[in-house]
Structure 1
Amino acid sequence: MRDVPEGWRQVQLKDCGTWWSGGTPDTEEPRFWGGDIPWISAASLKDFRITDSDRRVTRAGSMAGTKVVEPGTVLFIVRGMSLKKEFRVGVARGRVAFGQDCKALLPHTSIDGTFLGHALKARERNILAMVDEAGHGTGRLPTDLMGRLEIAMPADLAEQRRIVEILDALDEQIASANRELAKRREVGAGFVANIFKADFRSSWQNPTVGALLEGSGTIQIGPFGSQLHSYEYTSEGIPVVMPQDIIDRSISPDKIARVSTRKARELARHLLVPGDLIIGRRGDLSRCAVVRTENEGWLCGTGCLRIRLDSKRVLPEWLALAYTQDYCQRQISAMAVGSTMPNINSGIIKALRVPAPPMEMQRKAISALDAQRDGLSAAELKISQLIRIKQGLSEDLLSGRVRV
C-alpha cells in the first residue's frame, strides 16, 4: 500500500460499498420505455453529475431486466468503445436505471459518493491501463481488477465533503465559462448570418473571383504527390498547411506537417505570404483561411489552393468569410467535380461569384468579427486555465498532499 496522510485510509474499491450490475429491458416492449426514470448506458454517461438521459424507462421497465439505484450511487463504464481513450464515471443526482455496459457502486455511509467519483476520475490513467479488448475494438474493464484498485480517502466524512465542495466550485466555474463561450459563439454566428442577409446582398457588387485577380493576382495549386512525398515530412522544419489544418478561417499549427528547409526551397513557388487565402480543394470544401503574419514562409500543401489577390475591391478577410457562407458554398457544391470525393480547381474558383459590399463595410464587419474572435480566445484561455487549476488541485486534494 502507498503511504497515506495522517487521518486517511487506503481502501480497495471492492470494499467501498455495494456493487450492482445493470441490464436492458426488452427494447421491443413499449410498456418499458418512455417513462420518467433515466436509463444510463455507455453512450449516455457523459457528465459527472448524472441527472438525465436521452432514454428513460417506465416503472414496469425498471423491473424488467435493469437495475434502479439511488442518488449518490457511483456509475462507471466497464465496456464500450470509449474505454479506449477515456474512463467515464459519474454520480447519480436522482434515481436512475442503467445498462449492462455500466457498473454501479453504492458507497458505505462512511464514504461520500461524489468524493469517490472524483477519486476514480483522478485515477483514470491507472484504470485505463487495466482495459483489455472484448472484440471489434470494444474496450472491456475487468471487474476483478477494478475491485482491487486502492483508493486513498480521509477517514472523516466531513473532510471528504469539504474536498468535494472545493472541486464542485471549480466545476461550476468551468461550466459557467463554457456557457459564456457558447453564448459568444451564438452571438458571433448570428452576427455573420445578419451580414449576409439577402436584402443586404441585393445592393452589393457581385464580382467573380477571377475579376478580383485582375493585375498580378494568382491562384496556385499546392504541390502534387510526385513533388512532395510522404517520406519527406519531418518533425521539425517549415510547416506545410493541409486542408485539415484550416479550422474556423484560421490555420491551426497543432498537428501541422513539416518539411526540411532544403525541401521548402524546392517548393518556393508554394510559399505563403500574409494576405494570401488558402483553401481546401477536396473533401470538405468549406475550409478557407487568411494567412497571417505568423504563417509567413509556410507552404501551401497538397490538397490546397492559394489565392493571392490584387484588388482594391475586397479584403482577403472578407473573401474568406464570404467563401464559407451558404451563398458561395452552394455555388461551390454545384461546380465541384469528382465522383467519390468533391474537388475544386482554379477554374471553379475563378468562376465563383462573391458578394462584395463597399470596402468601409467590409472593414467594419471584419473589425467586429476580430473583436469577437479575441473574446472567444479569452474565454477559451480562461477555461483551459481553470481545467489546469482543477487538475492540479484534484491531485493534491485527493492524495492528501494538500489538506483542507
Structure 2
Amino acid sequence: MGGIPEGYKETKIGVIPEYWDVKSFKEVSKIVGGGTPDTENMDFWNGNIRWCTPTDISKNSAKFIEKTEKTISELGLKNSSATILPPNTVLMCSRATIGEKSISKYEITTNQGFKSFICNNSLNFEYLYYLIDILKKEFIKRANGTTFIEISKKDVEKIQMPLPPAKEQQKIAEILSTWDKSIEKLENLISKKIETKKGLMQNLLTGNVRFSEFESEWKEVKLGDILKERNDVGYLDLELLAITMKNGVIKRSELDLKDNSSENKSKYKRILPGDIGYNTMRMWQGVSGLSNYEGIVSPAYTIVTPKKDVSGEYIAYLFKTSNMINLFHRYSQGLVNDTLNLKYKNFKIINAIIPKSIEEQEKIASVLSTQDKEIELLKQKLELVNTQKKGLMQNLLTGKIRVKTS
C-alpha cells in the first residue's frame, strides 16, 4: 500500500511518469521582467509598441492577448527597462495577482509587475500556460512583500516543474485547449442570452413591444399607490437574509463575507415571499430584489409589498431598468453618493408607467423569468465544465492520466 505505481518514479516534486523530467524554470526558459517609461514624458507614450499591465491580463478572458490599453514609443522603450518580448511569450503577473497569465499573440512589452517566460525548445509555451495554474500556490508561497506580495526572478528560476517529452506536452495542451474552446462557446452564449434579455426588458417594460392579446392603455402610478411598506419587527427566530445587486434576496449564509450583523436583531425587518426589498442607501445603484423566502433583514433595507392587482415579479424587473434607477438616484437624499438614501417617504412619490392589467404584468414577468432560468442553467453548465477541466488539468499535468501521442 502506498507504493509507487509501475511506470512512475519518485522525484523532488512528487511521483511522475518515469520518462518525464524535472526541470527548473531557469533551465527551460528565459525569464524577463518589465519596466515603465516616465509617465510625465508624453514622448514615451502612445507609440506602436504594446505595453501590458496586470489590468490588461485581468480583463483578457482569452488565452492569447492581442491588444493592450496603453502603448509606448521607441523612445519610451529605450529609456526604460521594458523589453520587447516575442510572440508566444507567456506573460505572468508576479505581484499582487500572482499567477494570472496570458500568451502574447504579437510582440509586446510589460511593466515591472511581470515575470515573462520565453520558452526554449524543450518547453511548449501552451503547456506552460496551463502548468502555471498547477504551480500557482508555489509562486505565492515564495512571494514576499508588505504593501503587496511579489515573487522575485531569482525565486521563480528555482521552481521546478514536471516536463513530459515535447509531443506529450503538445498533446496535453491540445486537449486542454479543446476544453477552453467549449468554455468560450458557453461564455459567448451566456453573453448573448444576457443581451437578449436586456433587449426584451427595454421593449417589454416600456410598452414598445406588446403581446397581441393586450390592448388597454398603460397607466401612470406613484409607487406608493402600488407598493406599501412593511415594517414587521420582532421575528427573531426567522433566518437572516441579505439583498444583493447581482442575486437579489438570498440567504445570508450564502454570502462569502464576514457576518457583521448586530447580535440584537429586535429591529430587523421581516420579509415575505413576494415582497421586494431594497438597500435604502444603494437603491440608486439598483440593489433590490424579489424575495422567495420568509426571513429577516437588516434595518438598512426597506421592504415593500405589492398591493392588489400588482405583480411583484413585474415590479422587481421594472426596478432594474436604467430609467427607474435614474429616478431612484434623483429622489435619494444626501450630499454625496456615499450618503444617499431612498427612504419610503421619497420612494412612494416616484412615478412609474405600468400595464393596467395584472395579467399583462405577469405575462411580461414570465417571459423575462424564462430568460433568467435559461441563463442560470447555462451558468451552471459553465461551472460544471470549468470544474471538470480543472480536475482533468490536475491529472494531465501531473501524469496521473496519460495521453497517447501517436
TM-score for the superposition, normalised by structure 2: 0.83
**Hey, what does 1:101 align to over in structure 2?**
113
Residue 305 (structure 2) pairs with residue 308 (structure 1): yes
Tell me, what secondary structure is at the counterpart of 1:37? strand
Question: Cα–Cα, structure 1 residues 374 and 200, in superposed 2: closer, same or farther, change >3 Å?
Answer: closer
Please point out which of 294, 317, 324 is paired with 1:321: 317
What is the CA distance between 1:383 and its match in structure 2? 1.1
- Confirm whether residue 356 of structure 1 aligns to residue 371 of structure 2: no
SS at 1:379 equivalent: helix
Post-superposition CA distance 1:156-191 (Å, at most 9, x none): 101100000011111111111111111111111111
Q: Distance in 2 between matches of 1:141 and 1:259?
A: 34
Say if 2:283 is the partner of 1:271. no
2:355 is the counterpart of 1:343: no
Relative distance call for 1:399 and 1:200 in structure 2 (3 A) is closer
The structural deviation recorded for 1:352 is: 2.5
Instruction: Verify the 8 A CA contact 2:31 2:153 in the aligned structure 1.
Output: no
Equivalent in the alignment of 1:82: 97
Residue 239 of structure 1 aligns with an amino acid whose one-letter code is E
Are the equivalent residues in 2 in contact too, given 1:328–1:352 (CA < 8 A)? no
Residue number in structure 1 paired with 2:65: 50
The CA deviation at 1:116 is: 1.4
Distance 1:163 1:13, change over 3 A: same
Q: Structure 1 pair 272/143, CA: closer, same or farther in 2 (3 Å)?
A: same
Decide whether the 8 Å contact of 1:240 with 1:299 is kept in 2. yes
Instruction: State the alpha-carbon separation in 2 of the partners of residues 43 and 67 from structure 1.
Output: 19
Asked if residue 3 in structure 1 is aligned to residue 42 in structure 2, the reply is no
1:200 Cα offset (Å)? 7.5
- Change over 3 Å in CA distance of 1:124–1:169 after alignment to 2: same
- Contact 2:49–2:73 at 8 Å: present in 1 too? yes
Aligned residue in 2 for 1:68 = 84
Give the deviation of 1:42 after TM superposition.
2.5
Q: CA RMSD in A?
A: 3.0
Report the residue type matching 2:313 in the other structure: E
Q: What is the alpha-carbon distance in structure 2 between the residues aligned to residue 97 and residue 259 of structure 1? A: 44
Structure 2: distance between partners of 1:388 and 1:161: 22
Q: Quick one: distance in 2 between partners of 1:64 and 1:50?
A: 25
Tell me the alpha carbon deviations over residues 347-371 of structure 1, each in whole angstroms, 9 at most, x when there is no partner. 2232222322032321221111011
Q: Which of 202, 209, 213 is the equivalent residue of 2:223?
A: 209
Q: Which residue pairs with 1:165 in the alignment?
A: 174
Are the equivalent residues in 1 in contact too, given 2:232–2:270 (CA < 8 A)?
A: no
Deviates more, 1:332-341 or 1:167-176: 332-341
Alignment partner, residue 135 of structure 2:
123
**Contact 1:184–1:372 (CA under 8 A) maintained in structure 2:** yes
Q: Is the 8 A contact 1:222 1:302 kept in 2?
A: no
Q: Given the superposition, is the C-alpha separation of residues 23 and 102 from structure 1 closer, same or farther in structure 2, using an over 3 Å criterion?
A: same
Shift of 1:221: 4.4
Query: Where in structure 1 are there 5+ consecutive unaligned residues?
Result: none
Work out whether 1:174 is the aligned partner of 2:183: yes
Aligned mates of 2:232, 2:137 — CA distance in 1: 41
Aligned-partner Cα distance in 2 for 1:192–1:277: 18
Match of 2:203 in 1: 194
Long gaps (5+) in structure 2: 1-11, 211-215
C-alpha distance in structure 2 between counterparts of 1:283 and 1:197, whole Å: 24
Q: Is the 8 A contact 1:328 1:353 kept in 2?
A: no
Code of the aligned partner of 1:122: I
SS of aligned partner of 1:152? strand
Count of equivalent residues: 375
Query: Aligned letter for 1:54?
Result: E
From 6, 16, 24, the counterpart of 2:36: 24
Correspondence for 1:289: 289
Q: Secondary structure at the match of 1:53?
A: coil
Partner of 1:151: 161
Residue of structure 2 in register with 1:299 after alignment: 296
> Which SS does the other structure have where 2:115 is aligned?
strand
Partner SS for 2:200: helix
Which residue identity does 1:399 align to in structure 2? Answer: T
Q: 1:67 Cα shift?
A: 0.7
Structure 1 range deviating more: 161-170 or 323-332 = 323-332
For the pair 1:334 / 2:333, whether they are aligned, the reply is no
- What is the alpha-carbon distance in structure 2 between the residues aligned to residue 333 and residue 108 of structure 1? 57
| Amino acid aligned to 2:68 | S
The separation in 2 between residues aligned to 1:387 and 1:14, in whole angstroms, is 31
Q: 1:248 to 1:203 in 2, by over 3 A?
A: farther
1:240 is aligned to 2:213? no
Partner Cα distance (2:296, 2:151) in 1? 45
Whole-Å Cα distance in 1 between the matches of residues 23 and 383 of structure 2? Answer: 32
Q: 1:333 to 1:104 in 2, by over 3 A?
A: closer
